[in-house]
Amino acid sequence: MDSESPPARNGLNDVDDVYSDLYSTISQVTATTANDVDQLPYPITFRNLIIFVGATVGGLLFGYDTGVISGVLLMLKPQDISLDVVTDFQKELITSVTCLGSFFGSIIAFPTADKYGRKSTMALCCTVFVVAAIWMALSTSLTFLVIGRLIVGVAVGVAAQCVPVYLSEISPASTRGLVLALNTLAITGGQLISYVVSLSMQNVQHSWRYLFGLAALPAIIFLLILDFIPESPRWLISKGEFADALDSLRAIYPTAPLQLVSLKLKWLILDIGKLRKYQDAEDPLLVRTHSTSRYIGVNDEPLSESSPSQDNNLVVSAESRTRHKMEPRAKRALLVGCTLMFFQQVSGINAFLYYSAIIFAQFEVKNPLVPAMAVAATNFVFTLVALKCVDPIGRRSMLLYTIWIMTIGLFLSSVGFDKNNTKLILVALLIFVGGYASGMGSIPWSSVEFLPLNRRSFGAACISCTNWLSNTVVSVSYLSIANVMGMDRAMIMFAVFTILNWIFVYYYYPEVKGLTLEEIGKVFENGIDVSYVYRNYH
């Protein structure tokens, strides 16, 4: 009598069993290999210093090209661009068109970074920076200058989208907040440099041309050190390039034992493959790479190209050829990231960074670039506070502590504008900028860490686009709105947004300090668990 056939099983259940067994196997390996590489002390070496500093060149240029406009607007003479007079609207146009270009740059960066890699996209970005810098420096008409500002905006948008993604994917979990804050430090440093250079060149004929042209230098330096910067290991894994991913991880963790680096690679392959298991339910573990299938051993065996019959081999789906709907947890993560970025811009920060020199010029300050530089310097210095505090204190706590400081600064500045008190205005703006730089200046850009790998580049583009759309609206309308409703009421309007921002963070922004990128997804699995870290690890 034939034995009864086992009941048919659902393909997805089989997949879950496979991954459960693999997690169990790797957990046993982990127990015998001291600590996870992410939990080891992370010493700074010359190589990883080049990696992190080189990657933030895009942020430096982002800051320089957005900050330099304040000095340019003071030094630009109408006859330099074939005009009789430069109106407020034309100043707003020259300023805001960069934000509009950045919106399109963020859209372009998303498919480019996914298809060609983060490193190649950053190289393309720096090439565009060079072209735009030369274009703007040689402009002889308003039209050409606006086109040049639009082109540099595209490069800024690519940098704003791609650099945080790259930094989040190459940084250890224990230092990811610090590494992401480095990008913001580069942005604020670029803005400060633009003010220092503007101040030093204000008596030079056609100095605004030199201000634009100097932006080409950091971009050229990045292109020269490109060979020392590795590609994102997570992107390489998503393309099935496991051997290259191992080389990239060894560059990122130069002092870690090879055994732990190899184990980190296996965990990443497993986690990235698990993201795709529902996309390839019939054959979820097949790796598709050109004409070969690649395998990675679980028991600390080297990478090899072998057959599926080898024991203890993990084979993970590396690329999906079809489009799928975004999973609910990714939608929730993206909504949080975009909303926080919206609040970053409507707080009014770029109205002050772009137009601070013009604002103080209206109060007949002898050299309006000096208080403008003080604002930029405060932005830079307090970004160092974020750099030091964001990992030990946590992103959520930093936001809750600092948004109120921003609100107080805005209310004080409203009083200063109402009383025409220049000293109070400056002090209030410095309070506001200090609070902003300590939290809202850097943390919204780190929201890319909420997103799963298969949505990270797209999500970063959405977050960046939110930034640039909001930024465009503020920068293209601020001078006009302030003329209509008054500077004091404009400050109150910004303060209302910061209050709403604090309420949003309290109820919807989760803490993720110390979590790996792959573990963060659990925070958004069932709603938004703002207390996940505290409940599970503290």
Determine the Cα–Cα distance for residues 380 and 193; give it in Å rounded to an integer: 10
pLDDT at residue 21 tops 80: no
Q: What is d(CA 45, CA 253) in angstroms, rounded to the nearest whole number?
A: 10
Question: What is the SS3 string spanning 142-172?
Answer: HHHHHHHHHHHHHHHHHHHHHHHHHHHHHCC
Say if residues 389 and 438 touch (Cβ distance below 8 Å): yes
Residue 314, pLDDT above cutoff 60: no
Q: Which residue has the higher pLDDT, 203 or 144?
A: 144
Q: Are 301 and 331 in contact (CB under 8 A)?
A: no
Name the most confidently modeled range: 45-54, 208-217, 277-286, 474-483: 208-217
Separation between Cα atoms, residue 152 and residue 154, nearest integer Å: 5
So what's the pLDDT on residue 305?
A: 40
Say if CB 170 and CB 233 are below 8 A apart: yes
Cα 235-241-244 angle, rounded to 5 deg: 90
Identify the pLDDT of residue 438.
92
pLDDT digits (tens, 9 = 90+) for 192-210: 999 899 888 888 888 999 9
For 171-231, where are the alpha helices, taking DSSP H only?
Answer: 176-200, 207-213, 216-224
Of 157, 139, 160, 159, which Cα lies nearest the Cα of 148? 139
Tens digits of residue pLDDT in 75-101: 889 999 999 998 888 888 998 899 889
Closest alpha carbon to 413 in 402, 399, 405, 424: 424
* Tokens coding 1: 């009598």
Instruction: Give the DSSP H/E element, type plus range, for residue 61.
Output: helix 57-75
Chain position carrying tokens 């919206």: 342
pLDDT score recorded for residue 414: 95
The answer, yes or no, to whether residue 495 has pLDDT greater than 50, is: yes
What is the distance between the alpha carbons of residues 256 and 443, in angstroms, rounded to a whole number?
29
Name the average pLDDT for the chain. Answer: 80
Domains of the chain (ranges, CATH numbers):
16-45+258-314 (no CATH), 56-230+325-537 (1.20.1250.20)
Per 3-state DSSP, what percentage of the chain is helix, strand, and coil (rounded to 5)? 75, 0, 25
Distance, in Å, from the CA atom of 250 to the CA atom of 256, rounded to the nearest integer, reads 8
- For residue 366 the two structure tokens come to 């002898």
Is the pLDDT confidence value at 451 over 80?
A: yes
Q: Give the residue, 286 or 526, on which the prediction is more confident.
A: 526
Least confident of 5-9, 117-121, 287-291, 374-378: 287-291
Q: Kindly state the average pLDDT of the residues 285-289.
A: 36
Please count the residues of the chain: 538
Considering only 278-287, 375-384, 386-395, which range has the smallest mean pLDDT? 278-287
The token pair that represents 58 in the structure block: 């895009």
DSSP state, residue 310: S
What confidence tens digit (pLDDT) does each residue in 248-260 have?
999 888 888 888 8
Q: What's the per-residue H, E or C state across 63-78?
A: HHHHHHHHHHHHHCCH
292, two tokens? 């070969």
Tell me the DSSP string of 441-501.
TTGGGGGGGGS-HHHHHHHHHHHHHHHHHHHHHHHHHHHHHHHHH-HHHHHHHHHHHHHHH
pLDDT tops 70 at residue 280: no
Q: Please compute Rg for the chain using Cα positions.
A: 25
Asked whether the beta carbons of 191 and 376 are under 8 A apart, the reply is yes
In contact, 139 and 148? CB cutoff 8 Å: yes
Distance CA 510, CA 234 (A): 24
Of 361, 486, 491, 493, nearest in space to 431 by CA: 491
Are the C-beta atoms of 420 and 487 separated by less than 8 Å? no
Exposure class string for 506-516: b at 16+ Cβ within 10 A, else e: eeebbbbbbbb
